[in-house]
Structure 1
Amino acid sequence: MFIKVFASAALFLVSAASFAQTADEMAEQARQLEKQMKDAAALSLYKDALKVQPDNVAALTGASEVSSREGARAGDKEEKSRIFAEAKSYAEQALKVAPENADANYVMAVAISRIALSAGAKEKVAASKEVKRYAELAIKFNPKYAKAYYVLGKWNYDVANMNTLEKAAAKMLFGGMPEATLQEAIVNFEKCRKMDPSFLPDYPELAKAYKENDELEKCIEVLRKAVTLRPIYQDDLNIKSACKKMLEDLE
Structure 2
Amino acid sequence: MGLGTWLAVAGHALASLPSDELLKEANRLYLEYKDGEALQKFELVLTHDPNNYEALYKLSLLDLRIGTRFSDETQKNQFFTSALDYAQKALAVNANGAYAHYAMAAALNNLSVISGVKERMVKIRKVKEHLDKALALNPMHAEAWQLLGRWHYKVANLNFFECTASKLTGGGMQVGASNYKAIQSLNKSIQCNPANISSYYDLAIIYRDMKNTAKSVEVLERAITLQLVTSDDLELSRRCKALLHNLAKTSV
Q: CA deviation at 1:233?
A: 4.0
CA distance in 1, matches of 2:56, 2:176: 32
Check if 1:158 corresponds to 2:154: yes
**Counterpart among 133, 146, 153 of residue 129 in structure 2:** 133
Q: How many residues align?
A: 232
Moved over 4 A (4+): none
User: 1:16: which partner in 2?
Assistant: none
Map 1:163-202; keep pairs closer than 5 Å: 163-177=159-173, 178-202=175-199
CA distance in 2, matches of 1:234, 1:37: 10
User: 1:112: which partner in 2?
Assistant: 108
User: Which deviates the most, 111-120 or 226-235?
Assistant: 226-235
Aligned partner of residue 238 in structure 2, secondary structure: helix
Letter aligned with residue 84 of structure 1: F
User: 2:36: which partner in 1?
Assistant: 40
CA distance in 1, matches of 2:222, 2:18: 39
Q: Work out the percentage of aligned pairs sharing the same amino acid.
A: 34
Q: TM-score, normalised by structure 1?
A: 0.87
Q: CA deviation at 1:224?
A: 1.3
Gaps of 5+ in 1: 1-18
Letter aligned with residue 244 of structure 1: K
CA distance in 1, matches of 2:210, 2:84: 33
User: 2:7: which partner in 1?
Assistant: none
Q: CA deviation at 1:31?
A: 3.1
CA distance in 2, matches of 1:198, 1:236: 10
User: 1:213: which partner in 2?
Assistant: 210
Gaps of 5+ in 2: 1-14
User: 1:10: which partner in 2?
Assistant: none
CA distance in 2, matches of 1:57, 1:89: 13
Q: Is the 8 A contact 1:147 1:192 kept in 2?
A: yes
Letter aligned with residue 190 of structure 1: N
Letter aligned with residue 87 of structure 2: A
Aligned partner of residue 205 in structure 1, secondary structure: helix
Q: Is the 8 A contact 1:24 1:59 kept in 2?
A: no
Aligned partner of residue 62 in structure 2, secondary structure: helix
Letter aligned with residue 195 of structure 1: C
Check if 1:90 corresponds to 2:86: yes
Check if 1:30 corresponds to 2:26: yes
CA distance in 1, matches of 2:55, 2:44: 9
Q: In the TM superposition, what whole-angstrom CA distance separates every residue of 1:90-109 from its partner, at most 9, and x where no partner exists?
A: 00000000010110000110
Q: CA deviation at 1:168?
A: 0.3
Q: Is the 8 A contact 1:37 1:234 kept in 2?
A: no
CA distance in 2, matches of 1:226, 1:201: 9
Q: TM-score, normalised by structure 2?
A: 0.87
**Which one has more relative contact order, counting CA pairs under 8 Å at least 6 apart?**
1
How much is the aligned-residue C-alpha RMSD, in angstroms?
Answer: 1.7
Q: CA deviation at 1:249?
A: 1.2
Q: In the TM superposition, what whole-angstrom CA distance separates every residue of 1:191-231 from its partner, at most 9, and x where no partner exists?
A: 00011001222111110111222322221111111112122
Q: Is the 8 A contact 1:34 1:234 kept in 2?
A: no
Aligned partner of residue 169 in structure 2, secondary structure: helix
User: 2:10: which partner in 1?
Assistant: none
